[in-house]
Structure formats: C-alpha cells, structure tokens
Amino acid sequence: MFRFAPSSVGDMHIEDLRTALFNFICAKQQNDRFIVRIENLDKKDAVEQKNKDTLEILNIFGITYGSLYYQRSNFKYHLQFASTLLDQKKAFMCFCTDKELKVKRKVAEVAKEPYRYDGTCENIGSEEILNNRKPFVIRIKKPKQDLKFRDVIKGELSFKSDEIDSFVIMSVDKYPTHNFACAIDDMLQGVTHVISSEKCLLDMPKQEYIRKSLGYNETITYAHLPMILNGKSSVKKLLNQGFLPEAIINYLVLLGNTIPKEIFMMDEVFDWFDINLISKLPTRFDMDKLRYINVQHIKLLSDVELAKRIGYSGNGIGKLAKFYTEESSTTYEIKQIIDAMFTAKISSKKFTKNLEILKEIVRNAPIFDEFKEFKEYLTTKSGFEGEFLNIPLKILLTSNENGTELVRLYPFIKNYLKEIAK
C-alpha cells in the first residue's frame, strides 16, 4: 500500500504534488492500493480549508485514491501505543522544562557539540513521578544499536543511535508528535511503500524505531525524492496562472528523470515510469521549461476543449487561442488577450473618431476570406489611409496598437468581427 500524507500547513507546493503523483503512479503500476491521510490534529478552521484545497488539487490532477483517512481519527490509538511503551519501560515521562532544555542546548552550542538529551528523567522512580505536578512530555528511549535501511533512490543508509536520541513522542498537551503519529498510522493502515521528499529522510529512522519498539516487523520500502530547488511554488498559484495540470504532471515526471520522451500524457507514464531511475541529485525548478511544456500541451488539446478551458465555446476560439501560443505560454495569458478583443475599445484622442467610424463599418461589413479584401473595403468605406487606418484598426481588432500582424490574425477572427467591433 502506498500513501500520501500532506501537511495541513500552507499551500500544496510542487514538491508535495510530485510526492502524491509518484505514489499514485507506483501504486497503479503495482496494482496496489493508494490512500490519502490528512494530518489534521490541528482543529483550526483555516487548517480544514487547507485540507479541502489539497483534496481539490488531487482531483484536478486526476490523482484518485482508494481511501481517505483523517489522522485525528487515530488519536486514541496514539495514546494507547504511547501508554504501551511507557508500560514496557521503552519510554519515559520527561519533566524538563523548556527553560531547562534551552540552557542545556546553549551549553552544547558553546562547546560546539550537537545537543543530546542527557537522560535526566529517564530513571525517575514511580513515587517521584506520582508526586511530580509539573507538566511532562513522553520520550522514547534512544536505540542501543545503529539503524540501517535501504532507500530505493539513496541506496544503503545508516543512522547511529546517538543521532536519533531520546526524542519526544507525545507533547505536553498530550498530542502525538508528527513522527509518532505517522509511525502509528502507517502501522495501523498497513503501508508498505513510502515515497516522500528528501526533507523527510531524518524522520524515517525515528518512525521505523517506534514501530520496531512496538514489535512491528513488517517491511516498508522507502524512496526519498531529491529536493527541487526553488520548488516552493504553490500549485494553486500555477493553476491560476494558466498552467495546465497535464503540463505540470509532464514537467514533474520529466524533472531529474530518465524517460523515453519529452512530451507525454498521464496515461503513457504507467507503461515506462521507473522510480529507480530518479536522479539522486537535487534539481532546480525551471519556469521557462514549464512554460515550454505548457505550450506543447495547449497545442495537444482539441480546439473545443481549449476554448472551454479559457471560458469560451467553439473550435474557432480554440484555434485562435493556439495561434496566440506564439507569444503567450499559459491559458491565463491567452484568455487575457482574447477577452480584450471582445471588450469595448478605447484609443488616444488622435484616433478616437476614426475608431468609432471603423466600428460601425465593421459591424455592417460582409465577411471577406482574405485580409487584403477586408482592408480595401474599409479604406473605400472610410477614406482612411496610413496610420489613420492601421492604428485604429489594430486597436479595434486586438485592443492594442502594437503586436500581432493583422494579416496573420485575420483568418482566426474573421467570423467574430461583429462581436469584436463593439
């Protein structure tokens, strides 16, 4: 079983989406289950909205899941397993205050040594615990042996016991820490594969150690994806900017990977994707590359579908939108251009009268197949020549006196001239 466990803090970023996507792809390839687990121990309304946004984004990208879990529903099990570790003397109550720990960290910092919990509360007797009224956390006793694992991408990994330390598993408010909750949830839900970001690499030994301490010996296969430098781009923001979900998927699969083709659709990925071929090195988020890929996917859409995605209907608008990929690379940018064409036009005082006259002529003009014939008709009807024809005409047809050559644009707009000439 594969799982995606998004954070409830902040928007979903490119790295988060890649993690969800690769788990989904690998689960499909292995005909295995893929679940989503929402980390919602925080009950704030803002967090709930973030969770809804996350699920909506997964839906937009076609990332379907077999089950949806909320971490809060396992809270009673988190408490039970923490109690089990206490009963088995594998964990202990720690009454050290933040102030006391801060002093110890400062001492370690001055000595230029890594801070390690010194075990102050590890051997406190039962009577002393009963008489202690101070708030406490629960710490798991540090492992006695080094921990070794194999990561599909990183290879063989080893963590010394001192590096893991006696870390906190239940906070002072009796809520589980992230690592403890995640370790228990993966155990309860039977997760067998964890594909996550490289930033989670140091969580792996802690979570494995927690499960081993509880007697859970099922194997979990890990793959930690290298960081995407500048990969904090919000997925929602990219979508709002007009990047297609298909293009973003294409880019993320392509990034730091060895694959048979550059431009592809999601359905093709299942045939050849191999997570073992992912580069071990960090990659950089390249907006120019994403823009290039986005243009290719805009061109792959049917004309009708492209028109629909920018809020119009008909294959004519779709063809017009594809024409504008020569100068724009997102559907948002293209929509802005086309919207401007169908809104009322204004010009400088010098050409205001000419613009109004041309509007009236175009609204009543027949449809000409060629731009040359159309322009000759306007010249005859208006008597305008040179800039007094060309500039107001360009403003009328494009809402901009610079840019696209009208002779190239005309075939795509000739059937819409009456709506454009408002």
Tell me the per-residue pLDDT of 186-223, one tens digit each, with 9 for 90 and over: 999 999 999 999 999 999 999 999 999 999 999 999 99
Going across the sheet that includes 137-140, the strands are 91-94, 137-140, 168-170
Those residues with Cβ within 8 angstroms of residue 184's Cβ, 6 or more apart along the chain or in another chain? 74, 77, 78, 81, 176, 210
Burial of 408 (0-12, 13-18, 19+ CB in 10 A): exposed
Looking at residue 13, what is its pLDDT?
Answer: 92
Looking at residue 46, what is its pLDDT?
Answer: 47
Cα torsion through 247, 253, 19, 219, rounded to 10: 150
Tokens of residue 92, six digits: 């202990």
**Mutual orientation of helices 406-413 and 387-398 as an angle, nearest 10°?**
40
What are the residue ranges of helices labelled H in 30-152? 45-60, 75-87, 98-110, 126-130
> Sign of dihedral through CA atoms 199, 164, 125, 103?
negative
Looking at residue 235, what is its pLDDT?
Answer: 95
How many CB atoms within 10 Å of residue 138? Answer: 22
> Which residue is it, tokens 């006391």?
100
The residue ranges of the chain whose pLDDT is under 50 are 45-46
Looking at residue 43, what is its pLDDT?
Answer: 56
Distance CA 395, CA 347 (A): 7
User: Which pTM was predicted?
Assistant: 0.91
Residue type (1 letter), 391:
I
Is the domain spanning 66-225 CATH 3.40.640.10? The answer is no
Looking at residue 44, what is its pLDDT?
Answer: 56
**Mutual orientation of helices 178-189 and 203-213 as an angle, nearest 10°?**
60
Looking at residue 42, what is its pLDDT?
Answer: 61
Those residues with Cβ within 8 angstroms of residue 163's Cβ, 6 or more apart along the chain or in another chain? 205
Q: Are 330 and 291 in contact (CB under 8 A)?
A: yes
Q: Where are the domains of the chain?
A: 66-225, 342-420
> Which residue is it, tokens 């920018």?
310
> Which residue is it, tokens 């298909």?
246
Average pLDDT along the chain = 93
Looking at residue 11, what is its pLDDT?
Answer: 82
Looking at residue 47, what is its pLDDT?
Answer: 62
